């Protein structure tokens, strides 16, 4: 089984499970064995799905400013969790391919496998929500038709991205490409790196 064939159904399952409650505070019930790659893929998409809906909520023009600030800070925290999860998935790949002998002519990819999988997870959310617009009962036919065209493009994009991810992993396995992972080193949450936090905290 290719890695995209493993990932895509798990992403769809996480999205479906979330929408049974459609609540950003709903507790996650990860069905996969703890610390397996399936477990991390499900958790990754759950984080993305909750953040998707937090981003919707905060755009309400009538939202209470205090609530908006709370949600913004929650989104910041979610972004950090998302990054941590991507790096954890990359660690899985580094371990999986640690014994591979790299060809002297091997090239590095523009992004690590897990960051490509991150895009695949977000794409699953785009597909789900665009499909909801296509079948929306209160929408006009012109709206549905326009959304169907967009959905067709998103589905094609998933096919292409899935193939590219699988090809990248095959190239890494054969030693024709190699992984080099850079930790994101996000600064805005770090009290030692964000001037607002380390300067403001001294006032």
pLDDT tens sequence across 38-51: 999 999 999 999 99
Q: pLDDT value at position 56? A: 96
Our measurement of the distance from residue 171's CA atom to the centroid of its chain's CA atoms, rounded to an integer in Å, reads 23
What is the average pLDDT across 84-101? Answer: 95
Where does residue 165 rank: exposed (0-12), middle (13-18), buried (19+ CB within 10 A)?
Answer: buried
pTM above 0.85, yes or no: yes
Strand pairing partners for 108? 178
Q: pLDDT value at position 193? A: 66
Helix/strand/coil percentages in the chain, nearest 5 = 65, 0, 35
* Model confidence band, residue 97 (pLDDT cutoffs 50, 70, 90): very high
152 Cβ partners below 8 Å, 6+ apart?
none
Q: How far apart are CA 127 and CA 71, in angstroms?
A: 24
Per-domain residue ranges for the chain? 3-191
What is the average pLDDT across 146-164? Answer: 98
Q: Are strands 177-178 and 107-108 parallel, antiparallel or unpaired?
A: parallel
What is the average pLDDT across 186-203? Answer: 64
Q: pLDDT value at position 136? A: 95
């Amino acid at each position: 089984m290719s890695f995209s064939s493993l990932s895509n159904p798990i992403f769809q399952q996480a999205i479906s499970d979330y929408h049974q409650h459609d609540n950003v505070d709903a507790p996650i019930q990860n069905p996969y064995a703890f610390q397996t790659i399936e477990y991390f893929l499900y958790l990754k998409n759950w984080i993305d799905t909750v953040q998707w809906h937090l981003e919707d909520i905060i755009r309400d023009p009538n939202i209470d400013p205090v609530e908006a600030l709370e949600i913004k800070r929650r989104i910041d925290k979610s972004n950090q969790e998302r990054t941590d999860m991507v790096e954890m998935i990359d660690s899985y790949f580094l371990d999986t391919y640690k014994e591979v002998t790299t060809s002297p002519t091997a090239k590095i990819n523009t992004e690590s496998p897990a960051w490509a999988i991150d895009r695949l997870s977000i794409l699953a959310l785009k597909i789900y929500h665009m499909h909801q617009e296509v079948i929306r009962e209160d929408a006009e036919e012109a709206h549905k038709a326009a959304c169907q065209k967009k959905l067709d493009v998103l589905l094609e994009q998933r096919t292409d991205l899935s193939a590219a991810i699988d090809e990248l992993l095959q190239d890494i396995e054969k030693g024709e490409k190699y992984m080099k992972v850079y930790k994101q080193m996000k600064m805005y949450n770090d009290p030692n790196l964000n001037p607002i936090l380390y300067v403001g905290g001294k006032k």
